[in-house]
Amino acid sequence: MYYVLESKIIGWRGKTLLARSEPLLHECEPHWWLAQPLTKRPDRFRFYIDGRGPRPDNYPCVSGIDMYSRRLVELLFAQGVRHEAFPADVIDDRTGEALGSDYLAFHLLEIYPAVDHRRSDLTYDDEGADRAVIRAVRRLVLTEECLRAGRPMFRPAELFGLVLVHEGLVAVMEDHGITGNVYTPLEQFRVG
């Protein structure tokens, strides 16, 4: 079984905790959501957060760049997830003070064709054309080939903005007390 992985949005003292990153997603090359090592990126990423708030392992970031704790990145590495992780400075967005938190910019290097178009209930841009862009998901079903592969974590090529995680990896993350993750069972996932 697979789940859609998202960062848990955390409310704290009447506001939503979201990191802001430098650089932005589009300033990295190739595109951040492709499964290719980055050739253009800074030596260090910067994440701006409210330094007084909680610090989950999977910290939500408005730019789409994943901000993961070192312990989460090390856990994913141990589980065989192909990725790049880059040094990051975490800065208090109010004071400009470096917080010394142990976070990394996480770049997933696994993207595979995964969607069973016949068994899924999807709406496409330009219905009847090449079915290249999925606009809405009412039911998402993975191909038998994808299910047999049992990859622990990947982006589906057809919906590369999503991250899917296998139930085995979910269990490992929960056993290790990883915080900040939301796991939506594929059967319950809807968008658009």
Site of tokens 């142990």: 102
What would the two tokens of residue 112 be? 């595979």
3-class DSSP state for residue 167? helix
For Cα atoms 161, 93, 69, give the angle at the middle one, nearest 5 degrees.
Answer: 50
CB-based contact 138:121 (threshold 8 Å) = yes
Q: What percent of the chain has pLDDT over 70?
A: 96
Q: How many CB atoms lie within 10 A of CB 144?
A: 10
What pLDDT score was predicted for residue 136?
87
How large is the average pLDDT for residues 113-131?
80
What would the two tokens of residue 92 be? 């208090």
Q: Distance (Å, rounded) from C-alpha 109 to C-alpha 152?
A: 12
**pTM recorded for the entire structure:** 0.91
Strands (E), the chain: 2-7, 10-12, 15-17, 20-22, 45-49, 58-59, 66-69, 83-92, 103-108, 111-112, 121-124, 134-139, 153-156, 164-166, 181-185
Closest to 155 in 3D by CA, of 82, 75, 57: 82
Is the pLDDT reported for residue 57 higher than 90?
yes
What pLDDT score was predicted for residue 130?
53
pLDDT band at 126 (very low <50, low <70, confident <90, very high): low
How large is the average pLDDT for residues 138-144?
96
Is the pLDDT reported for residue 64 higher than 90?
no
Is the pLDDT reported for residue 129 higher than 70?
no
Radius of gyration of the chain (CA): 17
Question: pLDDT by residue (tens digit) across 94-112?
Answer: 999 999 889 999 999 999 9
Is the pLDDT reported for residue 188 higher than 60?
yes
**Parallel/antiparallel/unpaired status of strands 83-92 and 45-49:** parallel
Q: What percent of the chain has pLDDT over 90?
A: 76
pLDDT band at 138 (very low <50, low <70, confident <90, very high): very high
Is the pLDDT reported for residue 145 higher than 90?
yes
Q: How far apart are the first and last CA of the chain?
A: 23
